[in-house]
Structure 1
Amino acid sequence: MSQDVEQHSTHWVGDGQSSVLEGRLGIFVRKLLSHSRLSTDDQAAIAALPFSLRSMEPNAYILSEGERASICPVILSGFAYRQKTSAEGGRQIVALKIPGDPLDFQSLYLQCADHDLQALTRVELAIFSLKDLEKLVAPRPALARAVLIDILIEASIGREWLLNIGRRNALSRLAHLLCELHCRVEQIAKKRIEAFEVPLTQEQLADLLGLTPVHINRTIKTLEETGAVQRVNRRMQLGDVRTLRKIAEFSDIYLHQNEASKG
């Protein structure tokens, strides 16, 4: 988040911000504040919502295609992904979700899940009732706007992914994804992230980027040679982010990280 956005948000929410942000749901409130202006009253209302905690192991299904959801999980820790599967069994990962992300705002408005949602790593989830969320949002225009903006930003990321798969070569395709993931994690952490371990396997990267695992392996080796990434204990870590951004010709405009500065 830029300094101007941070100052603007702090002015709006007032001195009561810290107690809410330090609570169990603080990361969820920070996510909404990263793109929307919310009063201390709105933040306190979110923090007061009843929820349950649920831990899930990697690859566990959080939501299945065709299911009618009654809950909205929010990631407190770990990573998850949306996927679509073809009739022949081929998988396409269509979204990555990070700590702070709500996983199913769309079920506030749509009755049936049109994709699968799975844990990428071990995740801890805060589970909210959709009925409770509806009651919370209905009389609060700023919260309703925050929900809409969150949905719109995810759609914007989806359009960028479509461009990534359709028009970028393998090297810039992978570099672009890594730049995005780094940018999103820094935004929610509100600090610089130097060493970041990518939570995706080569097979998962292949299913996300429309490449084969062999092609992914060759592309990672090329990025290693530039210093943009490195492998530690068979896991990929980001190295020189500036080099990564140059390779990807990365622009973060589609992430809409300055939305909260709009009055």
Structure 2
Amino acid sequence: MLIRKLGSIARLSDEEQQAIACLPIAVRPLPAAQDIVREGDRPSQCCLILDGWVCRYQLLGEGKRQIFSFHIPGDIPDLQSLHLPVMDHSVSTVTKATVGFIPHEAMLELTATYPGIAAILWRDTLVDGAIFREWMVGMGRRTATQAIAHLFCEMYAKLEAVGLATNHRYKLPVTQADLGDALGLSNVHVNRVLRELRERNLITLQGGWLEILNWAELTKLSEFDPMYLHMGRRAA
């Protein structure tokens, strides 16, 4: 999954792919809602998502949660721990997940030996920053309908780029509470927006699968422009 993810950003040579494949990795299955690393931790390894969905979040007063981002197979959501020794947020599974833990020493050796891989990881980190900015605009200036529609478009573009979505349909395993925590909305408000999007024949959401029925109209409604994802070799 890491080779597929990095390969969607830039071309990897056979030697670079082999180096990634030889990384030492400890694979662990994890249940849903399981913290992988917590705010304040000093991790010595990075986590690579092999299956399932993961989120980054912080807990606020009275236990309120703010989700910063959702992550899919191929992502390394705590890559910053390579250079920032203390975690300033937590990383948790959203669904059942399979996670691979790669020692920092191995990642640092990989990036030192293969500067092309280091450049791709740096680019991926910069894209994370672009996604944070887009989410900030969404929570600050978009309507609830626009914000949810925009998130649906973003996740499709990311999943399609690594071969996990096609024909504007993908597995969406997050709950209404997760969407609310990501976009600063109540469960009631999220439910109302989902009903509106269905009634406008823009989406169907059934059995955990989201299908975008009218991609052009949904992107127009949400003002979704995939430029900020900097998809590289793959068009959104």
SS state at 1:196 partner:
strand
Distance 1:114 1:238 in 2: 35
Mapped pair 1:88 → 2:88: no
Matched residues, percent identical? 35
SS state at 1:65 partner:
coil
Q: 1:158 aligns with which of 132, 155, 168?
A: 132
Is the CA contact (8 Å cut-off) linking 1:198 and 1:238 kept in structure 2? no
Distance 1:111 1:193 in 2: 41
Corresponding residue for residue 195 of structure 2: 221
Rate the CA distance shift 1:187–1:79 in 2: closer, same or farther, 3 A: same
Q: Could you report, residue by residue, the CA deviation over 1:187-240 in whole angstroms, capped at 9, with x for unpaired residues?
A: 01076244323211111111111111100000000000111222324x462231
Mapped pair 1:185 → 2:154: no
Rate the CA distance shift 1:231–1:140 in 2: closer, same or farther, 3 A: closer
Give TM-score scaled by structure 2 length.
0.94
Corresponding residue for residue 210 of structure 1: 184
Corresponding residue for residue 210 of structure 2: 237
> Following TM superposition, where does structure 1 have runs of at least 4 consecutive aligned residues deviating by more than 4 angstroms?
none
Is the CA contact (8 Å cut-off) linking 2:156 and 2:168 kept in structure 1? no
SS state at 2:3 partner:
helix
Q: Could you report, residue by residue, the CA deviation over 1:65-120 in whole angstroms, capped at 9, with x for unpaired residues?
A: 00001111111111000001113321100011011111221011100011110001
SS state at 2:113 partner:
coil
SS state at 1:34 partner:
helix
> Which deviates the most, 162-171 or 195-204?
195-204
Q: Which amino acid aligns with 1:243?
A: E
Superposed, which structure 2 residues align to 1:1-263 within 5 Å? Answer: 27-189=1-163, 192-233=166-207, 235=208, 237-240=210-213, 241-258=215-232
Aligned residues: CA RMSD: 1.7
Is the CA contact (8 Å cut-off) linking 1:229 and 1:236 kept in structure 2? no
> Which deviates the most, 191-200 or 125-134?
191-200
Segments of structure 2 that go 5 or more residues without pairing to the other structure are none
Q: Which amino acid aligns with 2:113?
A: P
Distance 1:258 1:147 in 2: 13
Q: Which amino acid aligns with 1:210?
A: G
SS state at 1:138 partner:
helix
Distance 1:49 1:172 in 2: 41
Is the CA contact (8 Å cut-off) linking 2:156 and 2:169 kept in structure 1? no
SS state at 2:61 partner:
coil
Q: Which amino acid aligns with 2:38?
A: S
Give TM-score scaled by structure 1 length.
0.85
Rate the CA distance shift 1:161–1:69 in 2: closer, same or farther, 3 A: same
Q: Which amino acid aligns with 1:207?
A: D
Corresponding residue for residue 16 of structure 1: none
Deviation at 1:260, TM superposition (A): 8.1
SS state at 2:27 partner:
strand
SS state at 1:178 partner:
helix
Q: Report which of the two structures shows the higher radius of gyration computed on alpha carbons.
A: 1
Is the CA contact (8 Å cut-off) linking 2:161 and 2:234 kept in structure 1? no
Q: Which amino acid aligns with 1:144?
A: A
Q: Which amino acid aligns with 1:188?
A: V
Segments of structure 1 that go 5 or more residues without pairing to the other structure are 1-26
Distance 2:165 2:35 in 1: 31
